[in-house]
Structures are given as C-alpha cells and as structure tokens.
A and B are shown apart, each in its own frame.
Chain A
Amino acid sequence: MSESWRAAYLAALRAGDRRGALAVVDAARADGLSLATLYLEVFQPSLREIGLLWQDNKISVAEEHLATAVTQIAMARLYDGFCGTAVPNGRTLLAACAATERHEVGLRMVCDLLELEGWDARYLGAAVPEDALVGMVLSRQPDAIALSASISPHLPQLRAMIRAVRAACGERAPFIIVGGRPFLEDEALAERVGADAMARDASEAARCLRERFA
C-alpha cells in the first residue's frame, strides 16, 4: 500500500510541489496509513531517492533542500496531530545534532517514532553547546541520548559532547546512541567516539532503544 503513496510523494517532491506533497500525506493518512509506515516507507525512501538524484547530477542541491524542507513541514503537521496521544511509558530521550547540521530529519523521525510509543522525546536540534546539553541531561535525567553527525568533520564535536556528558554523569550517564553517514562507513567509529550503540537509520535507532528499555 505504501508503494503508491511513496511514488506520489516523491513525484510531488521532484516537482517542488509543496501543497501536492502535503496533500499526498493527508490522503495517505485518510486511507489509514500509519505514521510509522509514512515515516519509514514514504518519507525515508523518498529522501534517499532525492539524495541519489543529486549524486546522479539530476537535481541541484537547492532542490534537495526544498524536498527536505517540505518533508519537515509534513512532519511538523503530523506531530501536531499525534503529540500527547500515546500513553506515557516513563522513558525520556534527548536528541541533538552536531553543530550546523542540516540533516535533521532522521533524528526527528527517531523522536517521533518513540513518542508514538509513549516516550517523552526532546528534540534539541542543531548547534547545541556542550554545557547546554550537559545541563539538560543533569536536569532531565533522560534514559537515552541520540546524537547525529552527517559528515566526518562534525565528529570531533560529537565526541566532545559525549565526553562532556560522561564526565558530568559518571556511571549514571544515559545510554548514548549515534547515527549518521560517517558511522555507516566505519563500523567501529561509534565505539571510538564513546557511544554505546549505532543505528543505520531512524527505524533501527527506535528499535534499538525500544529493546534496550523494554
């Protein structure tokens, strides 16, 4: 069922048709497509396809950014609808990107997927200073932290963020999961930056945290 919605959504993204893309999302929801399916089988593969089109020199980076922005809008509209509907399970997540990241969609998906299951997920966005992150961790005492870096030059900052959290919390540090392209290319990287786990995409991150805190 998600196949045709994905094709329609991707076509709207390629045409730069924001209203058309949002109409596809509304129609898919009205047709009974679940939020998780919409995220993992429509948004995620569509954005991947857009990335490949850029790699193929078929579209410009501006078009890729527009596609991402449209998806961010779609997610914001969906979030407004489902926020607070799940029965809280007492678990909390803090999610942050390394500085000046522009690839935030994956991390937002992790937050939303877990919120659907009752987690309280706080999305801190990009460019969170280390001390602000540590402050949040100490005051909120989350069960887990999800951090992402889409390019390798952001790794030192990511490592510094993890180090700061571990220094402040000691043995009571939350479970730290990382994601992003550099981690796909080097399996051992997650451990080297001090993380507890690595996820290849949003659904893997959500599954890992779900199982860890079942």
Chain B
Amino acid sequence: MPAGTVRVNKPRVGNGLHACLRGFPAAVIEVATGGVVADSNGKLESLLGREIIGYPFAELLDVTSQAKWTRLLSRDPGSTESSLFECVVQRRGTLELRTFAAVWGNDSGEERLWLLEYSRDLRLEPLYEELGAANSELVQIQRELAKERSRLAQALGVQQSAVRLRDQVLAIVAHDLRGPLDRILASAALLREESLDSGSREKLLELIARTAAGMNVMVRDLVDAASIDAGRLAIDRREVEVPALVNATAEMFRLQAEAKGLALTCSTATTVSVLADQARVLQVMGNLLANAIRLTAGGGRITLAAEAAGDNVVFSVADTGPGIGADDIPHLFERFWQAQRRHRGGAGLGLAIAKGIVEAHGGRIWVESEVGSGSTFYFTVPVTPMATGG
C-alpha cells in the first residue's frame, strides 16, 4: 500500500452513507428494501423539520408523488439502471418539488436505493413564483382585452348602422321636402302670370301657405328629434285640465276624420289635471291621432280616452285599423325605423318624438295591437302633485 494513503477498512459510516456524502450540499438518502429510509446526510431532515431515518420514505411525499414512488420501487428486479425521480415533499404545510437521481445498487447482498438530490439554484424558486404570477396576470389582461375589443367592435357596428340610417333619412327628408318645395316654386311662377284671375290667385296663395305649413312640421320634427337626442327638449310644465285637453285634440282632427268616414269619439272618465307642456302633449296625441286616421279604413272607429291611474293619467288612442305585427311592435318607437319600411308614411320620426316627449314628462308610452284587430296606443303623464288623491 503506498505511503500517505489511508485505507478505509470500513468504507461507510453510520448505517451506510460514505463520509464524503455527509458534507454534500444537497440531500442524500439511502433506502432499504420496502422503502424505509436507512440513512440520510441530514439535509432532507433540515428541510422538512423532522426525523426520517427508520420511516417509510412515502410518508414524506404528497399523494401524487406517493404513486410515483410506488412505481419507482416496483422496477424490474435486478435492474441497476439509474433514473430521474421528481417528487413533491410535504414541508410544514407547503409542498416543494425536489429532483433526485435514483440509483439502485447492492450492498453486502442487500438491495439498496440511493436518492441523490440534484443541486438546485435557490434563486430559481422566487423567480418561478414570479413567472407563475406574471402568467396569471397576462391571462387576465388578455381576457379583458378580448372582451374590450369585442365591446368596441359592437359599439362600432351600432355607430356605423346609425350613420347609415342617418344618411338614409337625410335622403328621405331631402326627397320629402323637395316635393312641397317644387309645388311652392311652381305656384309662385304661376302667380307671376298677369292673366290669372283673383280666384285662382287666392287658391295658389292658399296652396303655398298649406304646403309651407306642412314643411314647417317636417322641419319641427327634425329639430325635436335632435333635441331629444341631445337630451335638451324644452318642457314648459303647467297645470293642464285633462278633459279640455282631450276635447281640444279631438276637435282639431274631427273634420279630417269625418272626411274619411271615420267615427271619432272622446271618453274622459277623469277631471284631474296633469302637470305638462300642453303644446307637447297635444303634439303626442295629434301624432297618434293622425296615424290612426291615416291607417284606418273608411267606416272605422277611433276613440280618444283619458283616465286616472294612481299618480298618472293614462291617455289612449284606439283605432279599428289593420293592427301591427308582433315583430314590428318592439321597433315601433325607434327613430327612423319607419324610414326603412317600404310603405312608409313619413320619415319615421313621429313615434320616436312622441316617446321622447312622454319620457321628458316622466311618463311612458306603449302599444297593444294585433293584426286585424286594430291598435291602441297608451301614454302616461303624471298628475299635478296637489291633485294627487284629490
């Protein structure tokens, strides 16, 4: 034997581990047949804060890793191949992933399994935590962005269709104003004819005045619609007596209804007054009445009514006209909806304006109708506070 070297007669200390493995910076564990820890260099004990020699190694593991451990132990007998063993150990209420090289061997006729922990870079752990948190945040941001993008795309779609509709309505309004304007221009040209007698001259002036009044209504509607849209429709609230209001409206349309052979009746079962802008409420009732007269065939009946219901007065205009399809009812009060219909009666602003006026009064407007059975439009206006309960 060469001088200076020491033969270690007993190459192992304790129950088995070589002395050099005692100082190894990572865990080294010797496992005997049956999975019981035979020896350890103390590193795993420090990590787990418990004794491990003499205990089954499986006891240190989390459930999923216990299954892995069983598979590792049940390798082919005689196989000395080393393998990678990753497992999760239970450490004071937390779980930690550890990686070992699993090396099989034979020690004095006894089968042994040595677990040698791979060195770990301790800085990786917090970085890994950070990576997980960053990923979670990224996922969240991506989902929020996708939601926002879908919302914006929908809003853009709504805007685009509103712009399309506005263009369409502009074309309709221009067309609708063009007709009366042409009539006025033609009448004005005729008035220049010196040969015209005074009777014809009077008729032409009457025609110009009537046509201009019609144009005035169209322009007023456009201005009203814009005011409602901008939320600045002026409402001049005063106390208005309901029966007088209903009768005045009916009288305004009586001639028109009778000319078409329609029976127009009034029914006011209340004497209360409402706090309202009289001209505006007249505008709403007038719009509903004009529609009813326009759409109801001769021989039909139109009923204008008002009755008190709690803090409101419910006004109604019922006709025996053709009625409205269930599919159309939800869109009836939408601006310009009518303008998209083939058989339109106007630019499609009337009912939208009526809705705007009623809502500006704090009321609501709706319709009950069935095809073939006529329609009844209702709207509410709050009663004068002093009159409540009186």
Residues of chain A at the chain B interface (Cβ within 8 Å): 51, 54-57, 60-61, 69, 72, 76, 79-80, 83-85, 97, 100, 102, 104, 108, 111, 123-127, 151, 153, 181, 185
Closest Cβ–Cβ distance, residue B388 to chain A (whole Å): 35
Q: How many angstroms between the C-alpha atoms of A54 and B94 in the bound complex? A: 20
How far apart are A198's CB and chain B's nearest CB, in angstroms? 17
A123 and B143 within 8 A (CB): yes
Contact between A55 and B136 (Cβ–Cβ < 8 Å)?
Answer: no
Is B68 interfacial (CB 8 A cutoff)? yes
Q: Is B12 an interface residue (CB 8 A)?
A: no
Further pairs besides A55-B68, A102-B132, A125-B136: 20, Cβ < 8 Å? A55-B64, A57-B71, A60-B99, A61-B99, A79-B142, A79-B143, A79-B146, A80-B146, A80-B149, A83-B146, A83-B147, A84-B146, A84-B154, A85-B150, A100-B129, A100-B133, A126-B132, A126-B133, A127-B136, A153-B93
Q: Is B216 an interface residue (CB 8 A)?
A: no
Task: Give Cα distance in the complex from A43 to B95, angstroms.
Answer: 26
Determine the distance from Cα of A56 to Cα of B28 in the docked complex, in whole angstroms.
Answer: 22
Distance to closest chain A CB from B130 (angstroms): 11
B239 within 8 Å of A (CB atoms): no
Q: Is the CB of A80 within 8 A of B132?
A: no
A151 lies within 8 A of B62 (CB): yes
Within the complex, what minimum Cβ distance (angstroms) separates B34 from chain A?
A: 19
Q: Is the CB of B64 within 8 A of A57?
A: no
List the B side residues contacting A126 at CB < 8 Å. 132-133, 136
Which residues in A have their C-beta under 8 angstroms from that of B63?
A: 181, 185
Contacts of A102 in B (CB 8 A): 132
| Residues on A with beta carbons closer than 8 Å to the beta carbon of B151 | 84
Contacts A55-B64, A55-B68; is A61 near B97 (CB within 8 Å)?
A: yes
Residues of B within 8 A of A57 (CB): 68, 71-72, 83-86
CB distance from A135 to the nearest CB of B (A): 16
Provided the pairs A57-B83, A79-B142 are in contact, do residues A84 and B153 lie with their beta carbons within 8 angstroms?
yes
Contacts of A181 in B (CB 8 A): 63-64
Distance between Cα atoms of A124 and B139 in the complex (Å): 9
Which residues from chain B contact A153 at a C-beta distance below 8 Å?
Answer: 93-95
Within 8 A of A (CB), among B182-197: none
Q: Is the CB of B136 within 8 A of A76?
A: no
Name the residue on A nearest B70 (C-beta): A55
Docked CA distance A88–B305 (Å):
40
Query: What are 12 A-B pairs at a CB distance below 8 A?
Result: A51-B64, A76-B139, A79-B143, A80-B149, A83-B147, A102-B132, A104-B139, A123-B140, A123-B143, A125-B137, A127-B136, A185-B63
